[in-house]
Amino acid sequence: MLKVENLHVSVEGKPILKGLTLAVNSGEFHVIMGPNGSGKSTLALTIAGHPKYSVEGGRILFDDEDITALGPHERARRGIMLAFQHPPEVEGVRIIEFLQQVLVETKGVDPVEAYDMIIKKAEELWFKEEDLHRHLNVGFSGGERKRLEILQALLIEPKLLILDEPDSGVDVDSLSVISRKIEELHQRGTAVLLITHYGRILGHLDREKLRAHVMKDGRIVKTGSGELVDRIENEGFGRIFEEVEG
Ligand SMILES: Nc1ncnc2c1ncn2[C@@H]1O[C@H](COP(=O)(O)OP(=O)(O)OP(=O)(O)O)[C@@H](O)[C@H]1O
Ligand SMILES: [Mg+2]
């Protein structure tokens, strides 16, 4: 479904991704790990079509279509959603109105029905109706923003959900609800590309069924099963980097 081929990306003239190749088939669950600054968020934002990231070489295919030159909205319409590492404040956009519009446009639901769907899902993520009348992410705490991103994903049900550190800065109880909701979406058919530093977000997912990738300096240097996540958590990146570099 998603194919990233020999991708080279620079930000403000500085090369960040240096020949990255990755394939995600529908329904799969992939995990990306890597040291700070290795280019994980750059990859996520580039797949989502952020204009700041310029593709200098290679291409991105989604459902066999070359989407490398498409804008972020066109990619979203095709079923790609990115949950940000740092969800930005969007002044002037009320959460409820934004989500209603998304549901009306993508699922053809009528606005009143959409309203009820949103309130119901929001409760599962501990948001009250009044919270949804606030502006998107404005004044929300870091952990609340992460939960809001998951709420959006649950309603949108994208074909491919890219999650950039959905576990960073969230308390233990929020982490377990976020983890369960990601698994729920995955079970309903969403392919997941999850960036994390820790295995805990993976909850009870079967490690054997996961694909884990390790990034270093703009490339994927190792791929394996979910066991790799636990190994990195226990022993760090050093040994793995030594192994791949020989
Ligand atoms: N606007 C920019 N100008 C210069 N360098 C940038 C810019 N944006 C990103 N970078 C650099 O690109 C590199 C990769 O950043 P990126 O955010 O993709 O890393 P990451 O793997 O997501 O790290 P983390 O684990 O800390 O989230 C970093 O060295 C970062 O400083
Ligand atoms: Mg990052």
pLDDT tens per residue across all 246 residues of the chain? 999 999 999 999 999 999 999 999 999 999 999 999 999 999 999 999 999 999 999 999 999 999 999 999 999 999 999 999 999 999 999 999 999 999 998 889 999 999 999 999 999 999 999 999 999 999 999 999 999 999 999 999 999 999 999 999 999 999 999 999 999 999 999 999 999 999 999 998 999 999 999 999 999 999 999 999 999 999 999 999 999 987
Res 34: pLDDT: 98
* Domain membership of residue 59 as a residue range: 2-85+161-170+192-245
- Residue 120, domain member (yes or no): no
Tokens 């969230």, located at residue: 170
- Residue 33, domain member (yes or no): yes
- Residue 231, domain member (yes or no): yes
- Residue 149, domain member (yes or no): no
**Per-residue DSSP letter, 207:** G
Res 27: pLDDT: 93
CA 7 to ligand 2 centroid distance, Å: 17
Q: Tell me how many domains the chain contains.
A: 1
- Residue 228, domain member (yes or no): yes
What's the pTM? Answer: 0.96
Q: How far apart are CA 166 and CA 164, in angstroms?
A: 6
CA 236 to ligand 1 centroid distance, Å: 20
- Residue 235, domain member (yes or no): yes
Question: What are the residues facing 163 on neighbouring strands?
Answer: 83, 194
- Residue 52, domain member (yes or no): yes
Q: Tell the residue nearest (CA) to atom 9 of ligand 1.
A: 11
Ligand of minimum distance to the alpha carbon of 12? 1
Output the ligand 1 site: residues, CB below 6 A: 11-12, 14, 16, 34, 36-42, 85
CATH number at 234 reads 3.40.50.300
- Residue 100, domain member (yes or no): no
Ligand of minimum distance to the alpha carbon of 11? 1
Residues near 97 by Cβ (< 8 Å), separated by ≥ 6? none
Res 106: pLDDT: 86
Q: How far apart are CA 170 and CA 167, in angstroms?
A: 6
CA 166 to ligand 2 centroid distance, Å: 11
